[in-house]
């Protein structure tokens, strides 16, 4: 995919949920998630982007998305919550725990804002832009759209964990908000790799550009 018109100095890199609980050995480990740490760190160290933003899953204890809060249910089961499908997860990224911290392998000093999500105990939040559906059918914004707009950002480049949940939802919401959303497929990993074809179709159907890090202007040699 050609992105020759992309000016990285006016684009934002959104680094999604790089936290120990999502990496091998963590409470909700994404397979091979550790493979993307060094490439993302390399991309950030090259400092080509005008803005760097991170998201951080930050759940209160007893969050509604935890299977432990639903007797008889197991992680990865799907229930109805507020009229929509809700995947149940192991307890993860609980506020103040080591597994919820931003992983120290990345140069977070580059980041100008961290959007904490999943802070409402009654509603999940995959996207960095909006919460999941609430009881009234709404998806409350996090404020990220306005933050980016006020800084003149038109293009949002996304990477992180997990490909089929939080990065996907963030990319779709970025596109819906009017940004050009660029999804770095090689710098993501999936909870369920068997869903990759469906994820790609959904992203492209939402107007997201799915590409690899080597397609970024002036960037090469960082792909895992």
HSE-up of residue 37 (Cα within 13 Å, Cβ side): 17
By the 8 A CB rule, do 208 and 178 touch?
A: no
- Single out the catalytic residue among 93, 166, 168, 173: 166
Task: Enter the tokens of residue 161.
Answer: 């964990």
Catalytic annotation on 168? no
Catalytic annotation on 166? yes
H or E element that contains 182: strand 180-189
- Single out the catalytic residue among 57, 117, 168, 173: 117
Please give the Cα distance from 93 to 60 (Å, whole number): 9
Task: Enter the tokens of residue 199.
Answer: 């994820």
Catalytic annotation on 159? no
Could you tell me which residues are beta bridge partners of residue 53? 14, 113
Please give the Cα distance from 184 to 209 (Å, whole number): 9
By the 8 A CB rule, do 188 and 210 touch?
A: no
- Single out the catalytic residue among 17, 57, 124, 164: 17
Active-site residue set: 17, 117, 166
């Amino acid at each position: 995919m050609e992105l020759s018109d992309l000016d990285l100095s006016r684009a934002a890199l959104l680094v999604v949920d790089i936290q120990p609980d999502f990496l091998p050995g963590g409470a909700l480990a994404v397979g091979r998630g550790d493979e993307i740490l060094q490439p993302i760190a390399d991309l950030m160290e090259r400092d080509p982007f005008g803005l760097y933003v991170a998201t951080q899953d930050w759940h209160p204890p007893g969050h509604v998305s935890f299977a432990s809060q639903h007797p008889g249910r197991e992680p990865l089961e799907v229930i109805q919550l507020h009229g929509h499908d809700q995947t149940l997860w192991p307890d993860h990224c609980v506020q103040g725990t080591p597994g919820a911290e931003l992983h120290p392998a990345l140069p977070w000093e580059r980041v100008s804002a961290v959007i904490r999500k999943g802070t409402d105990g009654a509603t999940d939040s995959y996207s960095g832009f909006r919460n999941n559906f609430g009881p009234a059918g709404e998806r409350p914004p996090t404020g990220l759209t306005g933050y980016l707009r006020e800084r003149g950002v038109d293009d949002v480049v996304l990477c992180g964990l997990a490909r089929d949940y939080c990065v996907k939802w963030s990319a779709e919401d970025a596109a819906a908000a009017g940004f050009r959303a660029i999804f770095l497929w090689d710098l993501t990993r999936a909870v369920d790799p068997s869903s990759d074809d469906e994820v790609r179709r959904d992203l492209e159907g939402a107007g997201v550009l799915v590409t690899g890090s080597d397609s970024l202007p002036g960037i090469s040699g960082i792909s895992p």
